[in-house]
Structure 1
Amino acid sequence: MRSTVEDLTTRARIRDAAIGLFGREGFSRATVRSVATEAGVSPGLVIHHFGSKAGLREACDQHVLSQTASQGREKTDPGTTRMLIQDYLNHPDEYADEIAYIRRALGDESDAGNAFFDGVVSQTEDIINAGIQAGTIRAFADIRATAVVIASNSLSMLMLGRHLSRVLGAPVSGPHGIGPELLRQLTLPALDVYTNGFYTDSRFLDAAREALQQQESTTEGSMPRDPGNRRRGVA
């Protein structure tokens, strides 16, 4: 049991060092050797625990997604949302590596980067379903598409942190630009939009539905009834 606990502790230390290094330097630039140096272990021990650099990245992805999923589920409860906001405002540096890693993963045009975004969307979908069951989130006709919208909106704030800080005059905190002051300025407007909506009535929604329905009808009307006969020259 003691050996197992020590292995888990070493594995976690290597994983956390890799999350920080991948976030700062990127996945291609960071090496197994540099991760080992950051964690204070040998490169062989990194391979022993994770098999390869790709295996190490996969473990990092799973850990970061697990952390964000836990935070997301907590956000379906108003009381824990308040605690999460207070915790970030009091300890912003503790979230820096995680935010930097997410930014790197989203900007990485690879299968692993695609899988990371897919994981965020799936988690958001689970959060919406949990909120619907808890009665804190209203039901949507297309939960999957809604999850894509919500995830994209949330992630864009991470990707554009420097610009958001600049426009709002908030102090830039680290390379991601998301400091406590920026969070203070954005939290209430964001929740206000989610809570009360943006438009005063459904006219824009109705107009969009009408446009989409009309386009769908036009497309269906222009399709040949029997492409096979047309290819054969049959009227």
Structure 2
Amino acid sequence: MRTVSDAADLTTRARIRNVAIELIGTHGYERASVRMIAQAAGVSPALVVHHFGDKNGLRTQCNDYVTAMFIDDTGAAAGSSGTIEIIQAALNNLDVYGPALNYLAQMLSDDSLAADELFDGILHGTMQGMREQEAAGIIHPQGDTEGTALLLTLFGLAPLVLRRQFARALGEDDLTPAGIARLTIPMLELFTHGYYSDDAILKATKSAMEQQNG
């Protein structure tokens, strides 16, 4: 994963974008004004408009950049497992990825087209990772790949969007690497061994749904 502050990405445009990611993640899109972003980036509001057109154009660039941070590895390496492990790895390195994670949480909570596009990008990355894992024999073939990818995406985003609630349930003030580590084994047990002791409930549910749809 690249970070919000790549050393090779220090242009004025990139600095404005990085500051916007941090401020929107902290204050939300509505409260993070162009003037506030410009001041923090050490530029004029007019220069922000020059580079991005308007605040919505800036948000689009932020969305594209943050989405790519969490799905690039999924497309680059066979066997990468997508949203869950990538976001979990970022949560284990909050000093580096904290601004991008805060941004994700803020934007995914918005009722907006931008939030929809952000979610769709992460979902696509998860689905691509699943297909690569299935081809490599790492995971079982899925009856409904799209449905499973959606569940995995929701599972991966839950600690991010519900960060405060996860932290409270773990007895912490904030979600920390230690808290994430505590969930690692239960998560792997669930994914590796499953939840039910046999497939009786699955078979009964399939049968009932077939009768209902038949």
Contact 1:14 1:39 in 2 (8 A): yes
- For residue 180 of structure 1, the aligned residue among 172, 177, 185 is 177
Please state if 1:120 is matched with 2:122: yes
Q: 1:26: how far off?
A: 0.9
2:201 is matched with which residue: 204, 220, 223?
Answer: 204
Between the aligned partners of 1:194 and 1:43, the Cα distance in structure 2 is 49
Q: Secondary structure at the match of 1:45?
A: helix
Letter in 2 for 1:208: T
Matched, 1:148 2:150: yes
Partner amino acid, structure 2, of 1:133: A
Aligned equivalents of 2:85 and 2:161: distance in 1?
24
**Alignment: residue pair count:** 204
Q: CA deviation at 1:126?
A: 1.0
What amino acid is aligned across from residue 41 of structure 2 in structure 1?
Answer: A
Deviations 1:120-174 (A, max 9, x none): 21111111112122322222121111111111111112122222222222x323x
Moved more, 118-127 or 7-16: 7-16
Which amino acid in 1 is paired with 2:45? P
Please give the alpha-carbon distance, in whole angstroms, between the structure 2 residues aligned to 1:215 and 1:112: 38
Residue among 23, 26, 46 paired with 1:24: 26
Give the TM-score normalised by structure 2.
Answer: 0.85
**Shift in Å at residue 88 of structure 1?**
5.4
Runs of 4+ in 1 over 6 A off after TM superposition: 81-87
Whose radius of gyration is greater, 1 or 2? 1
> Any idea what the Cα deviations from partners look like across 1:15-70, whole Å, max 9, x if unmatched?
11111111111111211111111211111221222111111101111111101113
Please state how far the C-alpha of 1:104 moved relative to its aligned partner: 0.8
2:191 to 188, 191, 194: 194
% same residue:
36
Q: TM-score if structure 1 supplies the norm length? A: 0.78
Tell me which residue corresponds to 1:157: 159
Higher helix share: 1
Unaligned stretches of 5+ residues in structure 2: 1-7
* CA RMSD after TM alignment: 2.6
